[in-house]
Amino acid sequence: MNRRQALATLTALPRAVAQPPRRRNVIFVLVDDHRHDAIGFLKGQSWLETPHLDSLARDGVHFRNAFVTTALCSPSRASVLTGVYAHRHRIVDNNTAIPPGTRFFPELLQQAGYQTGFFGKWHMGNSDDAPQPGFHKWVSFRGQGTYNPSANGLNVDGKRVPQQGYITDELTDYALQWLKSLGPSQPYFMYLSHKAVHAEFEPAPRHKGKYAGKPFTPPATMAADGDMARNRPMWVKNQRNSWHGVEFPYHNDLDIAEYYRLYAETLAGVDDSVGRLLDAVRQRGELDSTLVIYMGDNGFAFGEHGLIDKRTAYEESMRVPLLARCPELFGKGKTVSEVVANIDIMPTVLDAAGTVPPTGLDGRSWIPAVQGKAAGVWRKELLYEYYWERNFPQTPTIHALRGDRYKFIRVHGVWDIDELYDLREDPLESNNLIFSPAHQKVVNEMRARLFQVLEETNGLTMPIWPDRGGSMNRRHPGRSQNAGFPPELRRLK
């Protein structure tokens, strides 16, 4: 065969056709106030059991360093749906309305032919539970909702419907009914947003007493002795005796140990929900091809640094559980050490759906990181921000830069000191190195980098909105000192 004949033969062969990206089904489960180590296999407390969450890690991937960029419900959820920091989407607290023109990524999935469903807690700014753009199916409730049936009921596709039972189970019921209605060739995105495990904790009846009497190991930094002597900022010391401190928690005689046990019992219902979801997808024959993501909207402190709740830039507040399962996409039994965050959910889901994410996001798809393709190109630090709230004035405005080894924390608007922690040598963040001569180079570099990141992302202007809600007083607005706390949670005198 001469050269001309060979060329004729090659041109006669069928050309390879570029295959369109795989349009994977995606299930995203967001859980309220789920701290990073409150999972069975991580042994946050030795007796905690979460078999279905454990299976997600065993058959998928566990992200060891997953964070939120604002440890507060509305800002964190908005960052999930927009892929940008709070100072960019402007939903900086739980009262600020969604700015006009805000676009959430499920709208892009709809344009790509996906069926989309939302089930659970929306709690975005001061919006109600009305259906939001981007979702074909809608099940939600007002504000925080209630664990058991109340007069408000649910909003199902714009209609008020009575709540029938325990909210974690009922939301799962609605999600599975919707899943069952979808044809086998219809791509879908499910967003299951649980009320659990938000206070005041209320376990499902089947889980009440599950952990009664189990020993609670308090965090090492809970006691005032020692921890407070290592350059702890004054605002943190003062907060110990505030609404969010262990000395006077919620202005009550709350027992922190029993509080955690009740939290763990409430979490058991969420674990059951994950098991039901996995079974349903398995029955559809889609388990290994579906991307299932489980994440917390922020962490929660149970005594660390003498604090409870979230909002701060300490690990217990900003660090969250993140688990994912899709063996076809990235195998099984993996652990990822790269720093990932809530801002990465949007580009990751769009990546899995074969849809190109918009430009200009602060987040990025972590699928390459799971596949081992991010070496040398992944982020080296993460910005954290929290903006002071008038109805919870104990915590100041905070900006932080969390790197692989060091964390720099800067407060704004109070006369106090900054913080630097060596996370490798001091993972409990118990020794503030801000005055250490040996660390001044790190302090100066991280402070400069913090402001550089803020400038690059248009974050140097403080978002300030008109006051909404309570004023500065020593009680939670609208609550009595003991409201909402059952007698068994009150420390016996």
Q: pLDDT tens, 302-316?
A: 999 999 999 999 999
The residue-averaged pLDDT of 64-81 equals 97
Give the DSSP letter string of 331-352: -SSEEE-S-EEGGGHHHHHHHH
Band the pLDDT of 339: cuts 50, 70, 90.
Answer: very high
Give the DSSP letter string of 143-207: TT--SS--SS-EEETTEEE---S-HHHHHHHHHHHHHHHS-TT--EEEEEE--TTPSSP---GGG
Alpha helices in 366-439, H assignment, sequence order: 367-370
Contact 287, 20 (CB under 8 A): no
Contact 313, 409 (CB under 8 A): yes
Kindly state whether residue 458 falls inside one of the protein's structural domains. Answer: no
Kindly state whether residue 105 falls inside one of the protein's structural domains. Answer: yes
Using only C-alpha atoms, the chain has a radius of gyration, in whole angstroms, of 24
Give residue 225's pLDDT: 65
Using DSSP's 3-state secondary structure scheme, residue 137 falls into strand
The residue-averaged pLDDT of 408-425 equals 96
Band the pLDDT of 74: cuts 50, 70, 90.
Answer: very high
Residue in this structure with the two tokens 């600020």, named with its chain if needed:
96
Give residue 463's pLDDT: 81
Q: Which two tokens stand for residue 235?
A: 């605002």
Kindly state whether residue 209 falls inside one of the protein's structural domains. Answer: yes
- Could you count the other beta carbons within 10 Å of the beta carbon of residue 247? 10
Give residue 464's pLDDT: 79
- For the chain, the straight-line distance linking the first and the last C-alpha, in angstroms and rounded, comes to 99
Give residue 16's pLDDT: 32
Give residue 357's pLDDT: 93
Kindly state whether residue 476 falls inside one of the protein's structural domains. Answer: no
For 283-440, strand residue ranges (E) read 291-296, 301-302, 308-309, 322-325, 334-336, 340-341, 381-386, 397-403, 406-412, 419-422
Contact 70, 384 (CB under 8 A): yes
Distance CA 374, CA 358 (A): 20
What is the percent of the chain where pLDDT is above 70? 89
Using DSSP's 3-state secondary structure scheme, residue 3 falls into helix
Q: Of how many residues is the chain composed?
A: 493
Alpha helices in 225-255, H assignment, sequence order: 234-239
The residue-averaged pLDDT of 414-422 equals 96
The residue-averaged pLDDT of 47-55 equals 98
Kindly state whether residue 481 falls inside one of the protein's structural domains. Answer: no
Kindly state whether residue 70 falls inside one of the protein's structural domains. Answer: yes
Helix (H) or strand (E) holding 266: helix 256-283
Distance CA 467, CA 393 (A): 12
Which residues sit opposite 409 in a β-bridge? Answer: 400, 419
Out of 194-198, 272-276, 375-379, 476-480, pick the least confident.
476-480
pLDDT in tens, 89-147: 999 999 888 999 999 999 999 999 999 999 999 988 666 899 999 999 999 999 999 99
pLDDT in tens, 166-180: 999 999 999 999 999
CATH assignment of the domain containing 197: 3.40.720.10
Give residue 126's pLDDT: 66
Give residue 374's pLDDT: 86
Contacts of 73 (CB under 8 A, 6+ apart): 32, 94, 123, 297, 298
The residue-averaged pLDDT of 284-300 equals 98
Kindly state whether residue 1 falls inside one of the protein's structural domains. Answer: no
Q: Residue 223: pLDDT above 80?
A: yes
pLDDT in tens, 226-277: 555 578 999 999 999 999 999 999 999 899 999 999 999 999 999 999 999 9
Evaluate the omega torsion of the peptide bond into residue 286 and state whether it is cis, within 30 degrees of 0.
no
pLDDT in tens, 423-479: 999 999 999 999 999 999 999 999 999 999 999 999 999 887 776 554 443 333 333
Distance CA 457, CA 87 (A): 8
Band the pLDDT of 406: cuts 50, 70, 90.
Answer: very high
Q: Residue 492: pLDDT above 60?
A: no
478: left (phi over 0), alpha (psi -120 to 50) or beta: left
What is the domain count for the chain?
Answer: 1
Give residue 467's pLDDT: 64
CA 478 to chain centre: 27
**Which residue range forms the structural domain that includes residue 214?**
22-376
Give residue 21's pLDDT: 61
In degrees, rounded to 5, the angle at the alpha carbon of residue 123 between the alpha carbons of residues 25 and 410 is 100
Give residue 224's pLDDT: 77
Q: Which two tokens stand for residue 328?
A: 């076809």
Contact 1, 263 (CB under 8 A): no
Q: Which amino acid is at 261?
A: R
Distance CA 174, CA 187 (A): 18
The residue-averaged pLDDT of 25-48 equals 97
Nearest to 322 by CA among 25, 34, 27, 118: 34
Give residue 125's pLDDT: 67
Instruction: Report residue 352: phi and psi, to 5°.
Output: -65, -30
Kindly state whether residue 343 falls inside one of the protein's structural domains. Answer: yes
The residue-averaged pLDDT of 348-377 equals 94
Task: Fill in the DSSP letter of residue 123.
Answer: -
